[in-house]
Structure 1
Amino acid sequence: MTESAQQAAGGRSTGPFARFEWMIAGRYLRARRKEAFISVIASLTMVGVAIGVATLIVVMSVMNGFRGELLDKILGLNGHFTGYPIESQFTDYKETVSALEQVDGVKFAVYFVEGQVLASGRGSSTGATVRGMDEANLKKLDLLYNSAEQGGFDSWDDSTGVAIGYRLAQTLGVGIGDQVQLINPDGAMTPFGSTPQIRSYPVNAIYNLGMVEFDSFYIFMPLEPAQDYFKLIDDVLKPGQAPLDIMASDAEIDAAYDRVPRASGVEVFIDNPDSVNMMRERIEAMPNLRPMILTSWQQRNETFFSALQVERVVMFTILSMIILVAAFNIISSLIMLVKDKGADIAVLRTMGATRGSIMRIFSITGTTIGVIGTLAGTVIGLIVAANAETIRAAISDFLGVTLFPPEVFFLSSLPSRTDPVEVTVVVCMALGLSFLATIYPAWRAAQYDPVEALRYE
């Protein structure tokens, strides 16, 4: 007897699987001329598993990157909380920001002036949001402050210009130094009603945040010019000062009145974006903090991110079917292999191989197909996910079409973030399905009766 036959007869093994079981399973995986068709099916099954695993990893990585990039952009410019005053005019905005920054868990807070305008350039107009901020607050927003592609935010408080997104600059047809006309319907009151407020400002900076919404609709302006433009500076009579008559000079008016600026609201940035409920309680529990309406980023974007989460789950479920189909292919290829190896199974049984040995041989054969396919798919998926934007750009250039247009997907590039936990889940699922697919064919092989199998040989 050969060594393998002796091991089969004696039932000796070197672990959970005997060495001869591995040897026979390996021989069944190698193609021979009369078994070429079965081997081709096994190879295609292996490719199917690899494609399924790679597709799942790439799609989930892109979905994670899309959500993460959007979250980073949105929360890099807008706070985790946006607060608007409930009572009275918001004149104590600096004190409010200082108080908010003392709350445990708050990274920083900024105050701002905001309003809607019609922006006009060289023969083109579009709606825009103007946000007034001083340089100290701009520096807190690293995403914005470091995003200037032309010009910059140096000496921002002393400037009289504006910063606009590069997409808005393209829409208006303006560049650095050109004038942008801003039209606000809430202008000066006249005997005939309110007249629009129309002013022009030079473009001092053009920024690129990489998000279509911000790059297309936001205009940033120094705080004091913004307060003046939106009439958020009130003339308050000094204590003990008698009201002046209408014939008073400008010097007398300046001496009798204090100019008190106001802000529109505050943005609050916290350490953990997911702890908004706990942080809301901390902020609202602060003593001596003016009453404010706090809106969290989850409330502002609830529908959008909920839709992303549903899409992510649905895509995972649908693409998992690819692996499930490959698992069924493993079943079919093993059943064909069992039919083809009926005589071999009978010989092994007559030499002393147990039903358990036969099951393990075919389980090893089928599981090996799944393991190789899973490993290959994981490697391919990780490589493609890591180079998703490069591949997208190459395909777009080759086909001459824009894949994932930023106007639709909000981002100017295709992001990808691979989650090790999700990769582990995909790999374990593929391996588990591959193993489960071998149980029935292996069990059928173990039920072969040696006498019946050899009768017609």
Structure 2
Amino acid sequence: MSASQASKAGEAANSRNQDGRAGPFSAFERTVAWRFLKPRKQERMVSIVTVISLLGVMLGVAALIIVMAVMNGFRAELLDRILGLNGHIILQASDTPLNDYDTVAKKLEEVHGVQMALPLLEGQTLASGNVGAGTGALVRGVRKQDFARLESVATNIKEGSLEKYQEGNGVAIGIRMAQNLGLLVGDKLTLVSPEGDVTPFGTIPRVKSYTVEAIFEMGMSEYDTSIVFMHLDEAQLYFNQENNVQVIEVFVDDPDNVGLYKSDIVAAAERPLVVTDWQQRNSAFFSALVIERNAMFLILSIVVIVASLNIISSLIMLVKEKSRGIAILRTMGASQNSILRIFIMAGTGVGLAGTAAGVLLGVLVCLNIRGIQRLMNWISGAEVWDPTVRFLSEIPAQMDFFETMSVILLALILSFLAAILPARRAAKLDPVEALRYE
């Protein structure tokens, strides 16, 4: 700032002080703060450090928003997949076998808030097809009418048809199992159960082939690789469980509050049952996701803190470069508090600009994350998001308003705190010492 500019600014300061202050920052203070931040040829290094500070805040905020959105999306997608296929409340017989499952299921569906009661028979098998050495498979036997009500599966049939599966005696398998075993609709899937027939020569594994009538894709690799759906009556014959099921899975309107339904469901069943819910069965898994999410927030907050420290260095350099101008402002009547507010405004302005740019970048990435994933796959020629490792076939992103606001507040508060030390140093600058050798 030249002497003439400082003189004009000092006159504006005197005029402003006489007229009073409107709001926390006067027009004079805003003008001077903006002049200090404007890049000038002789202060190129200060401008470079300021830009680096701005970019640091931007990238820190964007990284925090993107990672938190991916963590939220990952949890929401997993929860949707798990609750879409598995019951929210699981009922098991405590004394006698569940051979009256049709009657019990009908009673349970009359309970308020219950969407569906699904009698289920499960068994582990070895599945083999046209290629490969075979793979482990979980056979789930469900009634024909119930399969259509499992929307997460029935609405994601990729080959074959739901109607053809319900009419025939075949099976429905996941798309990754079909790819691994080289199976298409109409091919034969061979299932081998270790719990076979007992003969004088020992137990012989039960081997039977079924026609593949439908291929589904849920988007969760564990399910698409290992699950085989079979009609309940056929599963009962295959596993020697005629007229019995292992569990009845109940789907409710509000899975997050399954405890509200338990007493009514047990009373409606009118028989002794062992009751568990999805939260009990998956508590360790979802607790780990919450811990990971909180840890990522803390770790990435350090990036924003480091970017805020850059603001300190840039403002210290700015104070050194503008010491002559500060001294002239002081001699023209600007108070220490006014100088303090000018540099706080300058530092907070850098943080505000970086935060706004970071939020914009983070939102754009979150909205286009699947397109970015496909672009990265095309560039690298490989899957950057391996679904066999990360459960889901695509990167999910789900932004939360309150989390985004917390990131914005964190960045702005850190930027404000980072500006205080250099601003106090500028406010305490002695005009006599600054102008001694001018």
8 Å CA contact 1:61, 1:419 repeated in 2: yes
1:384 pairs, out of 365, 369, 373, with: 365
Q: TM-score, normalised by structure 2?
A: 0.94
| Unaligned runs of at least 5 residues, structure 2 | none
Q: SS at 1:14's partner residue? A: coil
- Separation in 2 of the partners of 1:96 and 1:193? 37
In structure 2, distance between residues paired with 1:49 and 1:411: 31
Answer yes or no: is the 8 Å Cα contact 2:165–2:213 preserved in 1.
no
Paired position in structure 2 for 1:125: 134
Please state whether the residue corresponding to 1:402 is helix, strand or coil: coil
Q: 1:414 to 1:294 in 2, by over 3 A?
A: same
Instruction: State the shift of 1:176 in Å.
Output: 0.9
1:274 equivalent in alignment to 2:283: no
Q: Does 1:452 align with 2:433?
A: yes
CA distance in 2 between partners of 1:298 and 1:198 (Å): 36
After TM superposition, the structure 1 = structure 2 runs for residues 8-23 of structure 1, keeping only pairs within 5 Å, are 8-10=13-15, 11=17, 12-23=20-31
Match of 1:368 in 2: 349
- Measured after TM superposition, the shift of residue 37 of structure 1 is 0.7
Which is worse superposed, 191-200 or 433-442?
191-200
1:50-449 paired onto structure 2 within 5 Å? 50-123=58-131, 124-154=133-163, 156-233=165-242, 261-284=243-266, 286=267, 289-449=270-430
Query: 3-state DSSP class of the match of 2:23?
Result: coil
Query: Which secondary structure does the structure 1 equivalent of 2:256 belong to?
Result: coil
Give me the identity figure in percent: 45
How far apart are 1:281 and its partner, in Å?
4.1
Q: How far off is 1:3 after superposition?
A: 6.3
Indicate if the aligned counterparts of 1:108 and 1:269 stay in contact, CA closer than 8 A. yes
Deviation of residue 191 (structure 1)? 2.7
Deviations 1:226-260 (A, max 9, x none): 11111222xxxxxxxxxxxxxxxxxxxxxxxxxxx
For each residue in 1:269-328, what CA deviation from the matched residue of structure 2 results, as whole angstroms up to 9, or x when unmatched?
1222221333334434x1553222222222222222222111111111111111100111
* Partner SS, residue 261 of structure 2: helix
Structure 1 residue runs without a partner (length 5+): 234-260
Given the alignment, which residue of 6, 11, 27 partners 1:6? 11
Partner of 1:249: none
Tell me, what secondary structure is at the counterpart of 1:415?
A: coil
Higher helix share: 2
Matched positions, count: 429
Distance 1:83 1:152 in 2: 31
Deviation at 1:223, TM superposition (A): 1.6
Instruction: Tell me how large the CA RMSD over aligned residues is.
Output: 1.7
Shift of 1:187: 2.5
Partner Cα separation in structure 2 for residue 322 and residue 194 of structure 1: 62
Match of residue 44 from structure 2: 36
Contact 1:144–1:209 (Cα < 8 Å) also in 2: yes
Is the Cα contact below 8 Å between 1:346 and 1:451 reproduced in 2? yes
* Residues 100/319 of structure 1: CA separation in 2 closer, same or farther (3 Å cut): same
Alpha-carbon deviation of 1:157? 4.3
Q: Is the 2:165–2:214 contact (alpha carbons within 8 Å) kept by the matching residues of 1?
A: no
8 A Cα contact 2:165 2:172, kept in partner: no
Which TM-score applies when normalising by structure 1?
A: 0.90
Would you say the 8 A contact 1:82–1:296 is kept in 2?
yes
